[in-house]
Amino acid sequence: MNDFFENEASILELVDGFRNKNLLESQWTHEAHLAVGIWFLSHYDRYEATCLLRSGIIELNVSLGGKNTEISGYHETITLLWIWMIDKFLKANEGMPLTDLCNAFLKTEFSDRNMLLKFYSKEVLFSTRARAIWVEPDRRLLTSPF
């Protein structure tokens, strides 16, 4: 599998677009979400990164013409689960350069968008409750995968 990011500049450009709310919808991919998360968790503690990511995703969705509702847009449980997985990965790979971190994480099974269904049933994960607040997994306990 090829690297997703060629260099740190491509990641920083993505982060700047996220922060400035000028990404195109086509740029705001699953991989982009994860790379932005990796950058924020590399530069802020987990709690501050969570606040910045939460508000940033909500604002970016709106800037792209989307709506954050009970059925679309920002999803609290999904966001917090990815933050948890990225945080564990970063702690297990301290000292690795940003580009290597992003590419390595994107090559793991933990970056697979369907990974969340190992922890949650579709009914629970895609519920309005899980979109609004953190909901504990109903399939598997959260233990560090790294």
Which letter does DSSP use for residue 25 in this model?
G
pLDDT at 119: 94
Question: What are the residue ranges spanned by the domains of the chain?
Answer: 8-132
User: Exposure string (b/e) for 58-97, b if CB count within 10 Å is 16 or more?
Assistant: eebbeeeeeeeeeeeebbebbbbbbbebbbbbbeeeeebe
pLDDT at 1: 62
pLDDT at 146: 40
Q: What is this structure's pTM?
A: 0.93
pLDDT tens digits, 64-108: 999 998 899 999 999 999 999 999 999 999 999 999 999 999 999
Higher pLDDT, 1 or 27: 27
Assess whether pLDDT exceeds 80 at residue 145: no
Going by C-alpha positions, the residue among 93, 96, 113 that lies closest to residue 30 is 113
pLDDT at 2: 80
Average pLDDT, the chain: 94
pLDDT at 143: 72
User: What residue spans of 21-139 are helical by DSSP H?
Assistant: 30-43, 46-63, 76-92, 98-106, 122-125, 128-132
Average pLDDT over residues 22-40: 97
Element (H, E) at 14: helix 8-20
Assess whether pLDDT exceeds 90 at residue 140: no
